[in-house]
Amino acid sequence: MNEQGLNIGLCLCGSFCTLSQVVEEIKKLKEKGYNIYPIMSYNAGSMDTRFGDAEYFRNEIVSITGNSIISSIKEAEPIGPKKYLDVMVVAPCTGNTLAKLNNGITDTPVTMACKAHLRNNRPLVLAISTNDALGVSLKNIGGLIIRKNIYFVPFGQDNYEKKPLSMIADFTKLENTIKYAVKGQQIQPILL
Protein backbone atom coordinates (compact mmCIF):
# COMPACT_ATOMS: atom_id res chain seq x y z
CA MET A 1 0.00 0.00 0.00
CA ASN A 2 1.21 3.47 -0.80
CA GLU A 3 1.03 5.51 2.39
CA GLN A 4 1.67 8.81 0.58
CA GLY A 5 -1.49 10.84 0.79
CA LEU A 6 -3.49 8.56 3.09
CA ASN A 7 -5.49 10.88 5.35
CA ILE A 8 -5.79 9.68 8.94
CA GLY A 9 -7.96 11.23 11.63
CA LEU A 10 -6.14 10.40 14.85
CA CYS A 11 -8.21 10.75 18.01
CA LEU A 12 -6.56 10.79 21.43
CA CYS A 13 -8.52 10.05 24.60
CA GLY A 14 -7.67 10.25 28.29
CA SER A 15 -5.65 7.12 28.91
CA PHE A 16 -2.88 9.44 30.03
CA CYS A 17 -0.33 6.70 30.77
CA THR A 18 -0.26 5.77 27.06
CA LEU A 19 -0.14 9.22 25.43
CA SER A 20 3.66 9.19 25.12
CA GLN A 21 3.52 5.83 23.31
CA VAL A 22 0.87 7.13 20.94
CA VAL A 23 2.90 10.28 20.20
CA GLU A 24 5.83 8.06 19.18
CA GLU A 25 3.59 6.15 16.78
CA ILE A 26 2.27 9.43 15.33
CA LYS A 27 5.89 10.40 14.59
CA LYS A 28 6.49 7.12 12.78
CA LEU A 29 3.31 7.46 10.72
CA LYS A 30 4.17 11.02 9.74
CA GLU A 31 7.72 10.02 8.74
CA LYS A 32 6.22 7.38 6.40
CA GLY A 33 4.13 9.94 4.57
CA TYR A 34 0.71 9.71 6.18
CA ASN A 35 -1.32 12.92 6.54
CA ILE A 36 -2.51 13.08 10.14
CA TYR A 37 -5.37 15.21 11.43
CA PRO A 38 -5.41 15.17 15.25
CA ILE A 39 -8.57 15.16 17.34
CA MET A 40 -8.48 15.25 21.14
CA SER A 41 -11.12 14.47 23.71
CA TYR A 42 -11.88 17.22 26.19
CA ASN A 43 -9.95 15.39 28.92
CA ALA A 44 -6.91 14.45 26.83
CA GLY A 45 -6.66 18.00 25.53
CA SER A 46 -7.00 19.80 28.85
CA MET A 47 -5.93 17.71 31.85
CA ASP A 48 -2.45 17.85 33.35
CA THR A 49 -1.52 14.54 34.99
CA ARG A 50 1.48 12.78 36.47
CA PHE A 51 2.13 11.49 32.94
CA GLY A 52 2.53 14.97 31.44
CA ASP A 53 0.96 18.33 30.83
CA ALA A 54 -1.85 18.70 28.33
CA GLU A 55 -0.19 21.72 26.74
CA TYR A 56 3.00 19.70 26.10
CA PHE A 57 1.04 16.94 24.34
CA ARG A 58 -1.01 19.42 22.30
CA ASN A 59 2.11 21.30 21.17
CA GLU A 60 3.96 18.07 20.36
CA ILE A 61 1.07 16.72 18.28
CA VAL A 62 0.66 19.96 16.32
CA SER A 63 4.42 20.10 15.73
CA ILE A 64 4.55 16.51 14.43
CA THR A 65 1.42 16.58 12.26
CA GLY A 66 1.55 20.16 11.03
CA ASN A 67 -2.21 20.36 11.63
CA SER A 68 -4.20 22.08 14.34
CA ILE A 69 -6.11 19.91 16.79
CA ILE A 70 -9.83 19.41 16.36
CA SER A 71 -11.02 20.01 19.90
CA SER A 72 -14.76 20.66 19.73
CA ILE A 73 -17.87 18.88 18.51
CA LYS A 74 -18.48 21.76 16.09
CA GLU A 75 -15.03 21.32 14.52
CA ALA A 76 -15.45 17.52 14.27
CA GLU A 77 -18.89 17.46 12.62
CA PRO A 78 -17.72 18.46 9.08
CA ILE A 79 -15.57 15.31 8.89
CA GLY A 80 -18.64 13.46 7.62
CA PRO A 81 -19.91 15.79 4.91
CA LYS A 82 -16.42 16.75 3.69
CA LYS A 83 -15.25 13.09 3.51
CA TYR A 84 -11.59 14.08 3.75
CA LEU A 85 -10.38 11.18 5.91
CA ASP A 86 -9.55 7.72 4.61
CA VAL A 87 -9.38 6.14 8.06
CA MET A 88 -10.14 7.23 11.62
CA VAL A 89 -8.03 5.97 14.51
CA VAL A 90 -8.79 6.25 18.23
CA ALA A 91 -5.55 5.71 20.14
CA PRO A 92 -5.75 5.40 23.05
CA CYS A 93 -9.40 4.39 23.16
CA THR A 94 -10.61 4.43 26.76
CA GLY A 95 -13.41 2.38 28.31
CA ASN A 96 -15.47 5.56 28.43
CA THR A 97 -15.08 6.14 24.70
CA LEU A 98 -15.76 2.46 23.94
CA ALA A 99 -19.05 2.74 25.85
CA LYS A 100 -20.05 5.92 24.04
CA LEU A 101 -19.23 4.50 20.60
CA ASN A 102 -21.07 1.25 21.33
CA ASN A 103 -24.15 3.10 22.56
CA GLY A 104 -24.26 5.91 20.00
CA ILE A 105 -23.42 8.72 22.42
CA THR A 106 -21.94 11.74 20.66
CA ASP A 107 -20.83 14.23 23.30
CA THR A 108 -17.11 14.76 22.68
CA PRO A 109 -14.98 15.79 19.69
CA VAL A 110 -13.78 12.17 19.43
CA THR A 111 -17.21 10.55 19.39
CA MET A 112 -18.50 13.14 16.91
CA ALA A 113 -15.48 12.59 14.66
CA CYS A 114 -16.04 8.82 14.73
CA LYS A 115 -19.76 9.12 14.06
CA ALA A 116 -19.19 11.58 11.22
CA HIS A 117 -16.51 9.37 9.67
CA LEU A 118 -18.46 6.10 9.95
CA ARG A 119 -21.42 7.56 8.07
CA ASN A 120 -19.19 7.41 4.98
CA ASN A 121 -18.61 3.64 5.36
CA ARG A 122 -14.93 4.22 6.02
CA PRO A 123 -12.78 2.32 8.54
CA LEU A 124 -12.55 3.16 12.23
CA VAL A 125 -9.53 1.67 14.05
CA LEU A 126 -9.66 1.35 17.84
CA ALA A 127 -6.54 0.94 19.99
CA ILE A 128 -7.96 0.18 23.43
CA SER A 129 -6.43 1.10 26.74
CA THR A 130 -8.71 0.45 29.68
CA ASN A 131 -8.40 -0.96 33.18
CA ASP A 132 -11.80 -2.67 32.91
CA ALA A 133 -11.57 -4.36 29.48
CA LEU A 134 -12.30 -7.76 31.02
CA GLY A 135 -14.94 -6.21 33.27
CA VAL A 136 -17.78 -3.88 32.39
CA SER A 137 -16.07 -2.69 29.16
CA LEU A 138 -16.04 -6.21 27.72
CA LYS A 139 -19.64 -5.87 26.52
CA ASN A 140 -18.69 -2.70 24.65
CA ILE A 141 -15.65 -4.32 23.05
CA GLY A 142 -17.90 -7.21 22.00
CA GLY A 143 -20.53 -4.83 20.65
CA LEU A 144 -18.01 -2.94 18.55
CA ILE A 145 -15.85 -5.83 17.36
CA ILE A 146 -18.76 -7.28 15.35
CA ARG A 147 -19.72 -4.02 13.65
CA LYS A 148 -19.03 -3.18 10.05
CA ASN A 149 -16.08 -0.83 9.42
CA ILE A 150 -14.69 -1.09 12.97
CA TYR A 151 -11.28 -2.69 13.45
CA PHE A 152 -9.13 -3.28 16.53
CA VAL A 153 -5.41 -2.91 17.02
CA PRO A 154 -4.31 -6.22 18.60
CA PHE A 155 -4.53 -6.04 22.38
CA GLY A 156 -3.87 -8.06 25.50
CA GLN A 157 -3.53 -7.92 29.26
CA ASP A 158 -0.87 -5.44 30.33
CA ASN A 159 -0.49 -6.39 34.02
CA TYR A 160 -2.55 -9.47 34.88
CA GLU A 161 -1.20 -9.73 38.45
CA LYS A 162 -1.93 -6.18 39.64
CA LYS A 163 -4.68 -5.24 37.15
CA PRO A 164 -6.31 -8.50 36.02
CA LEU A 165 -9.13 -6.77 34.09
CA SER A 166 -6.87 -4.30 32.26
CA MET A 167 -6.03 -4.58 28.57
CA ILE A 168 -4.03 -2.41 26.21
CA ALA A 169 -3.40 -2.32 22.48
CA ASP A 170 0.05 -3.01 21.09
CA PHE A 171 0.53 0.47 19.65
CA THR A 172 3.47 -0.75 17.54
CA LYS A 173 0.88 -2.64 15.45
CA LEU A 174 -1.05 0.53 14.65
CA GLU A 175 0.29 1.05 11.14
CA ASN A 176 -0.30 -2.55 10.07
CA THR A 177 -3.82 -2.44 11.51
CA ILE A 178 -4.49 0.70 9.46
CA LYS A 179 -3.18 -1.00 6.31
CA TYR A 180 -5.53 -3.95 6.82
CA ALA A 181 -8.48 -1.74 7.79
CA VAL A 182 -8.35 0.36 4.62
CA LYS A 183 -8.65 -2.95 2.72
CA GLY A 184 -11.67 -3.91 4.85
CA GLN A 185 -9.82 -6.56 6.86
CA GLN A 186 -9.19 -7.11 10.57
CA ILE A 187 -5.52 -7.78 11.32
CA GLN A 188 -5.00 -11.09 13.13
CA PRO A 189 -4.61 -12.18 15.81
CA ILE A 190 -6.69 -9.61 17.67
CA LEU A 191 -5.88 -11.01 21.11
CA LEU A 192 -2.25 -11.12 22.19
* Beta pairing partners, 1: none
Check whether the bond before 189 is cis (ω within 30° of 0): yes
Q: What pLDDT was estimated at residue 4?
A: 63
Nearest CA among 169, 165, 133, 147 for reference residue 101 = 147
Q: What percent of the chain has pLDDT over 70?
A: 95
Can you tell me the distance from the alpha carbon of 23 to that of 7, in angstroms, rounded to the nearest whole number? 17
Cα–Cα distance, 53 to 42 (Å, whole number) = 14
Peptide bond preceding 123: is omega within 30 degrees of 0, i.e. cis?
no
134 vs 157: CA distance, rounded Å: 9
Per-chain mean pLDDT for the chain:
92
Per the CB < 8 A criterion, the answer to whether 161 and 83 are in contact is no
* Tens digits of residue pLDDT in 101-123: 999 999 999 999 999 999 999 99
Tell me the mean pLDDT in the region 79-88.
Answer: 94
Supply the pLDDT for residue 1.
46
- Domains of the chain, each with CATH number or no CATH: 7-181 (3.40.50.1950)
Model confidence pLDDT, tens digit, residues 39-58: 998 777 665 667 778 788 88
Paired strand residues for 11: 39, 90
Give pLDDT tens digits for 130-161. Answer: 989 999 999 999 999 999 999 999 999 998 99
Distance, C-alpha 14 to centroid of its chain: 11
